[in-house]
């Protein structure tokens, strides 16, 4: 049975839950504040890294697990790092586009 991590969108509390077949994950509530507004944490390994650390800890060519590719916050990390290394400012429009993609990866099809 998988263990999922959920983050409370009200207080930011993290809850790990062993999901059984009989349990509806929609029925979760935060054990800290009682809020029902929980969202699934996709990649617990990288989740708590601020974007700056994410960028500096990114190593091109290093083998990554599936979670890395599922985590939309890692979109464009490579491009961002290459530009930074080359001393090129990608500009606000580029950054805004990345932010949009990271928060809603389905936009890649819309934009």
Give the footprint of Zn ion on this chain (CB under 5 A). Answer: 8, 10-11, 13, 30, 32-33, 35
d(CA 61, CA 11): 37
Nearest to 55 by CA among 89, 94, 85, 92: 85
Q: Which is nearer to Zn ion, 35 or 81 (CB)?
A: 35
Q: Which is nearer to Zn ion, 35 or 72 (CB)?
A: 35
Query: In the bound complex, what is the minimum distance in angstroms from residue 2's beta carbon to Zn ion?
Result: 22
What is the greatest pairwise CA distance in the chain? 53
Q: Which is nearer to Zn ion, 32 or 69 (CB)?
A: 32
Q: Which is nearer to Zn ion, 35 or 51 (CB)?
A: 35
Query: In the bound complex, what is the minimum distance in angstroms from residue 73's beta carbon to Zn ion?
Result: 21
> Residue 19: which residues within 8 A CB-CB, separation 6 or more?
1, 2, 3, 4, 25
Residue 81 near residue 55, CB atoms below 8 Å = yes
Query: In the bound complex, what is the minimum distance in angstroms from residue 23's beta carbon to Zn ion?
Result: 19
Query: In the bound complex, what is the minimum distance in angstroms from residue 4's beta carbon to Zn ion?
Result: 16
């Amino acid at each position: 049975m998988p263990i999922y991590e959920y983050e409370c969108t009200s207080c930011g509390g993290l809850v790990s839950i062993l999901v059984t077949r009989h349990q509806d994950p929609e029925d979760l509530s935060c054990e800290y504040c009682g809020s029902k507004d929980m969202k699934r944490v996709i990649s617990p390994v990288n989740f708590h890294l601020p974007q700056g650390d994410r960028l500096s800890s990114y190593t091109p060519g290093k083998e990554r697990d599936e979670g890395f590719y599922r985590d939309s916050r890692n979109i464009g990390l490579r491009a961002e790092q290459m530009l930074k290394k080359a001393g090129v400012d990608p500009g606000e429009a580029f950054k805004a586009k990345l932010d949009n993609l990271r928060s809603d990866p389905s936009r890649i099809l819309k934009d």
